[in-house]
């Protein structure tokens, strides 16, 4: 029995180590491209400084779409804060609700009665459907209003009911949509005071993804997925998608319509831009902030939806680009590698249990532990070096976005992120199988929170 356990542990270790090495080298290549690009820009523009948002804003109405299902607890605060913060003259907020959600309807109606810039839209079908279906109801309402009122829309921005908008984001959209089809701002989750690990691991992931990974994707000319919040699409681009589909622009059968929308616009030849703009010279970026799930169950449900929509169903839906764009193929592969990485991660944790059992049995039997082959030890040391590098890189980006205290916590939060990912993968497989069997996708949202903000801070 001891020999069998040793053999299984050794083979499992080799299998997991090889795939960890492949994944580690993949991440390292992204880091090297980012560093090369950053070094090139420093050499080319040695005195380049990060400037703030220009005060000259081009004309054009920005319409904000907010899909809201069971959001009575946060939607009123979110809307009042947005109305107090937006530093832009021409905008309107469209909020989509469902006829069987009277609490949310009442909360939105209260704000709409106070400010005409809020437009309450009640869909025809009871909820929850999908977020994309709710956005389509808002699109139809916008088309009717454009005809009835005779105004022109420059772009449509997307937000969630728990978002804290940035005062300058509409100005950024108005300027960037002059030369981009779509604009994505960085998303920076708020550190939750009562959930340092579960909610905090989102801070780590987004700090690195929206300051490094999306930058590399853009540099490679790969399709840039949207985050679903803090993004704006030019009105004519959405109209073109709607015309091509013979209906509304958002795919109601998709669980991750934001991810697919960015890739669709890129495939159409539209320029999708990541706008990392400082709110003032040398200051923090114009970004969207929000509380992310603060409990394990909520985080698992959210990650399962992302995994299902991007790595499983999304693979079926979006496939690969027909052109020989190696950068785009590589980035799509990275989006979908969770289908292999998570089983390997589960196997690695199982291997630790096997080696622990083996060590106990050898100790009880007074026999020596078997030595690993030199090649296996070399692979393990290489993985250890890549892991150390990965933790340092993540800590650097978290430090840049949140300060050194959060950077210190980023390393132990990797274990929490792995735990959530494993359980999310199990749930995602179930969701995907049900979709293959014909089940309609449903908006499996989590309960949201909106931070208590004093009036003077809400207006800043």
Q: Is 288:187 a contact under the CB 8 Å cutoff?
A: yes
**Residue 329 falls within a domain, yes or no?**
no
Q: How far apart are CA 52 and CA 87, in angstroms?
A: 14
Pick from 57-61, 269-273, 418-422: least confident: 57-61
> In this structure, are 111 and 236 located in the same domain?
yes
pLDDT band per the 50, 70, 90 thresholds, residue 158:
very high
What is the domain range of residue 215? 61-309+446-458
pLDDT at 381: 94
> In this structure, are 286 and 415 located in the same domain?
no
Pairing outcome for strands 153-159 and 61-67: parallel
**Residue 315 falls within a domain, yes or no?**
no
Check pLDDT > 60 for residue 221. yes
Instruction: Output the pTM of the full model.
Output: 0.89
Can you read off the two tokens belonging to residue 376?
A: 């296996």
Q: What percent of the chain has pLDDT over 70?
A: 94
CA dist list (Å): 70 to 289, 356, 384, 431: 20, 47, 45, 22
Q: Is 79:93 a contact under the CB 8 Å cutoff?
A: yes
Q: What is the CATH number of the domain that holds 245?
A: 3.90.550.10
Chain segment 240-250, per-residue pLDDT in tens: 999 998 889 99
Chain segment 342-370, per-residue pLDDT in tens: 788 888 888 888 878 877 877 777 777 77
**Residue 343 falls within a domain, yes or no?**
yes
Return the higher-pLDDT residue of 108 and 449: 108
pLDDT band per the 50, 70, 90 thresholds, residue 45:
low
> In this structure, are 84 and 8 located in the same domain?
no
State the average pLDDT over residues 6-32.
Answer: 89
Q: How many CA atoms lie within 13 A of 124 on its CB side?
A: 4
Pairing outcome for strands 288-290 and 187-189: parallel
**Residue 55 falls within a domain, yes or no?**
no
Q: Give the number of domains in the chain.
A: 2
> Which run of H or E residues covers position 16?
helix 2-44
Q: How far apart are CA 292 and CA 199, in angstroms?
A: 6
Which range has highest mean pLDDT (8-22, 184-198, 303-317)? 184-198
State the average pLDDT over residues 265-289.
Answer: 89
pLDDT band per the 50, 70, 90 thresholds, residue 450:
confident
Q: Is 409:395 a contact under the CB 8 Å cutoff?
A: no
> In this structure, are 177 and 116 located in the same domain?
yes
Pairing outcome for strands 182-184 and 231-234: antiparallel
pLDDT band per the 50, 70, 90 thresholds, residue 46:
low
Chain segment 373-389, per-residue pLDDT in tens: 888 889 999 999 999 99
Q: How far apart are CA 369 and CA 146, in angstroms?
A: 75
pLDDT band per the 50, 70, 90 thresholds, residue 403:
very high
Three-state SS at 196: coil
Preceding peptide of 128 cis, ω within 30°: yes
pLDDT at 435: 81
Helix axes 102-114, 75-85, angle to 10 degrees: 20
pLDDT at 454: 45
**Residue 171 falls within a domain, yes or no?**
yes
pLDDT band per the 50, 70, 90 thresholds, residue 51:
low
Q: How many residues does the chain have?
A: 460
State the average pLDDT over residues 160-174.
Answer: 94
Check pLDDT > 90 for residue 135. yes
Can you read off the two tokens belonging to residue 39?
A: 């070094």
> In this structure, are 339 and 235 located in the same domain?
no
> In this structure, are 233 and 343 located in the same domain?
no
State the average pLDDT over residues 24-30.
Answer: 96
**Residue 405 falls within a domain, yes or no?**
yes
- Output the CA torsion 363→364→367→369 (10° steps): -40
């Amino acid at each position: 029995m001891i020999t069998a356990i040793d053999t299984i542990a050794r083979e499992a270790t080799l299998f997991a180590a090889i795939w960890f090495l492949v994944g580690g080298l993949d991440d390292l290549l992204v880091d090297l491209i980012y560093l090369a690009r950053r070094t090139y820009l420093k050499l080319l523009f040695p005195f380049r400084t990060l400037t703030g948002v220009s005060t000259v804003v081009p004309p054009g109405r920005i319409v904000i779409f907010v899909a809201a299902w069971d959001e009575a607890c946060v939607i009123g605060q979110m809307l009042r804060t947005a109305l107090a913060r937006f530093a832009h003259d021409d905008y309107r907020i469209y909020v989509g609700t469902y006829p069987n959600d009277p609490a949310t309807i009442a909360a939105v109606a209260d704000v709409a009665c106070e400010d005409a810039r809020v437009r309450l839209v009640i869909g025809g079908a009871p909820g929850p459907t999908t977020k994309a279906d709710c956005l389509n109801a808002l699109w139809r309402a916008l088309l009717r209003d454009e005809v009835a009122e005779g105004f022109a829309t420059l772009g449509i921005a997307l937000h969630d009911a728990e978002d804290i908008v940035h005062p300058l984001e509409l100005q950024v959209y108005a300027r960037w949509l002059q030369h981009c089809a779509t604009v994505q701002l960085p998303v920076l989750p708020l550190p939750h005071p009562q959930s340092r690990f579960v909610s905090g691991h989102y801070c780590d992931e987004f700090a690195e993804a929206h300051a490094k990974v999306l930058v590399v994707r853009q540099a490679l000319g790969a399709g840039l997925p949207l985050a679903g919040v803090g993004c704006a699409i030019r009105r004519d681009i959405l109209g073109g998608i709607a015309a091509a589909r013979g209906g509304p622009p958002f795919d109601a059968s998709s669980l991750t319509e934001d991810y697919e929308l960015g890739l669709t616009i890129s495939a159409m030849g539209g320029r999708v831009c990541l706008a990392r703009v400082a709110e003032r010279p040398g200051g923090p970026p114009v970004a969207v902030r929000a509380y992310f799930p603060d409990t394990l169950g909520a985080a698992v449900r959210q990650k399962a939806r992302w995994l299902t929509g991007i790595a499983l169903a999304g693979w079926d839906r979006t496939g690969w680009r027909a052109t020989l764009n190696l950068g785009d193929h590589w980035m799509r592969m990275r989006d979908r590698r969770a289908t292999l990485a998570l089983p390997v991660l589960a196997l690695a944790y199982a291997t630790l249990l096997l080696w622990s059992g083996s060590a106990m049995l050898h100790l009880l039997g007074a026999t020596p532990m078997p030595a690993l082959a030199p090649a296996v030890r070399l692979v393990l040391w290489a993985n250890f070096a890549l892991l150390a590098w990965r933790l340092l890189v993540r800590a650097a980006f978290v430090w840049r976005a949140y300060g050194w205290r959060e950077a210190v916590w980023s390393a132990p939060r990797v274990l929490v992120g792995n735990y959530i990912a494993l359980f999310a993968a199990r749930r995602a497989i179930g969701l995907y199988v049900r979709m293959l069997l014909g089940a309609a996708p449903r908006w499996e949202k989590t309960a949201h929170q909106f931070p208590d903000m004093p009036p003077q801070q809400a207006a800043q």
